[in-house]
């Protein structure tokens, strides 16, 4: 009888140990599954979140270029200056703007042999400002402004003074050019600098026509083509 009781107690203890072992294994299994699930979630989040430092590095290595714009503004009575202006615009990709007088000049107005002709009267009056009849433009969008004109009495026509009074060229690169049979451009450049002291006015170009090789050289020397 005692042997039977002892055997039953032994079987009971063995059963208890086995049950405890199974419970411990199940708990360990659950812990391993939870750990694996957390690792997978962390990996997924890491893949979804962008690397901000990489984006910053990419932006720094590819800076956005600011487009620069140029304008060729010109006054022309006989067409010579117009042809040079169109050539400069073609070489540089600049916009064209013709400075058209509100009152067009007639042949008699340009008869320099007549001391009382309109052109002579204007050039003898430093305060003369012939009105511009062409539409106004937004000069603020341009970084470089080419200004072309014929030489009258050794300098620029008074309508160019009107243009300079109308538009603010401060902090812009200004490229004067002229057409002339004999006179140079230096005096007109000096006069322009006096009117636009805050502009970067470069050395001017005197061109004989649109095929003048000096046009290319002038643009190249100023880094504009």
In a structure prediction context, what are the per-residue pLDDT tens digits for the chain, which is 225 residues long?
444 444 545 444 444 444 444 444 444 444 434 444 454 444 444 444 445 444 444 445 554 445 779 999 999 999 999 999 999 999 999 999 999 999 999 999 999 899 999 999 999 999 999 999 999 999 999 999 999 999 999 999 999 999 999 999 999 999 999 999 888 999 999 999 999 999 999 999 999 999 999 999 999 999 998
Taking the model in full, what pTM does it have? Answer: 0.71
Give CB contacts under 8 A, 24+ apart, made by 87-90: 87/210, 87/211, 87/215, 88/146, 88/148, 88/177, 88/215, 88/219
Instruction: Give the start-to-end residue ranges of the domains of the chain.
Output: 2-47, 70-221
Burial of 154 (0-12, 13-18, 19+ CB in 10 A): middle
Question: How crowded is the C-beta side of 14, counted as CA atoms within 13 Å?
Answer: 6
Q: Which structure tokens are listed for 113? A: 């042999």
Quote the CA–CA distance of 94 and 84 in Å, as a whole number. Answer: 13
Q: How many CB atoms lie within 10 A of CB 115?
A: 9
Quote the CA–CA distance of 29 and 166 in Å, as a whole number. Answer: 85
Q: Which structure tokens are listed for 176? A: 């004067």
Overall CATH class of domain 70-221: alpha beta
Quote the CA–CA distance of 183 and 176 in Å, as a whole number. Answer: 15
């Amino acid at each position: 009888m005692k042997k039977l009781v002892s055997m039953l107690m032994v079987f009971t203890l063995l059963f208890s140990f086995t049950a405890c072992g199974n419970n411990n294994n199940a708990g360990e299994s659950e812990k391993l599954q939870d750990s694996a699930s957390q690792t997978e979630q962390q990996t997924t989040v890491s893949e979804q979140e962008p690397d901000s430092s990489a984006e910053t590095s990419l932006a720094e290595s590819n800076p956005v270029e600011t487009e620069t714009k140029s304008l060729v503004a010109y006054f022309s009575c006989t067409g010579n200056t117009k042809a040079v202006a169109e050539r400069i615009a073609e070489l540089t990709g600049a916009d064209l703007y013709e400075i058209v007088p509100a009152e067009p000049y007639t042949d008699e107005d340009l008869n320099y042999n007549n001391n009382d002709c309109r052109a002579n009267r204007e050039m003898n009056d430093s305060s003369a400002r012939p009105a511009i009849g062409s539409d106004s433009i937004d000069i603020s969008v341009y970084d470089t402004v080419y200004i072309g004109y014929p030489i009258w009495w050794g300098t620029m026509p008074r309508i160019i003074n009107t243009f300079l009074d109308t538009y603010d060229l401060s902090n812009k690169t200004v490229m004067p050019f002229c057409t002339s049979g004999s006179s140079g451009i230096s005096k007109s450049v000096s006069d322009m600098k006096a009117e636009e002291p805050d502009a970067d006015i470069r050395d001017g170009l005197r061109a004989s026509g649109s095929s003048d090789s000096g046009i290319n050289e002038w643009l190249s020397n100023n880094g504009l083509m």
